[in-house]
Amino acid sequence: MLFPPTRYLTIDEVAKLMSVPKSFIYRRTCRGHSDPIPSYRFGGHLRFRLDEIEDWIATHRVAHDELPRLEAGVRRTAAASKVVRRSNRRLQRQTNSVKSRSG
């Protein structure tokens, strides 16, 4: 036998294993990605080996002391504030739309 028996995982299984959306997996398997997830393509089907996925995940472990510290009173960045304002306006428009339909 050329290869040892291996069970290949589907994209759904890998996404569930990693608790991420399938779109994350697809992006990480695109040609030219700087940090690709190891994968195999059989026709139009992506498949993954569990041992390679586990190795890839292990290389992305972040040590606790490497995580950024949040200081008390830290303010949002301007970009984050803009996103929050836009989201609040959208929610307000939706609320007004529902009220006008029901009233």
CATH number of the domain bearing residue 36: 3.90.105
Amino acid at 91: L
- Residue 17 or 74, more confident: 17
Q: Which residues pair with 68 in a beta bridge?
A: none
39 inside domain: yes
76 inside domain: no
Can you give the residue range of the structural domain that contains 12?
A: 7-61
43 inside domain: yes
Predicted confidence (pLDDT) per residue in 45-66, tens digit: 999 999 999 999 998 887 767 6
84 inside domain: no
Predicted confidence (pLDDT) per residue in 19-43, tens digit: 999 999 999 998 888 889 999 998 9
Q: State the total domains in the chain.
A: 1
Comparing CA positions, the residue from 55, 43, 57, 44 lying closest to residue 15 is: 57
98 inside domain: no
Residue carrying structure tokens 């830290």: 74
Please give the helix or strand (H or E) that residue 90 lies within, else none.
helix 78-102
pLDDT-based confidence at 2, cuts 50/70/90? low
Comparing CA positions, the residue from 54, 56, 41, 51 lying closest to residue 11 is: 41
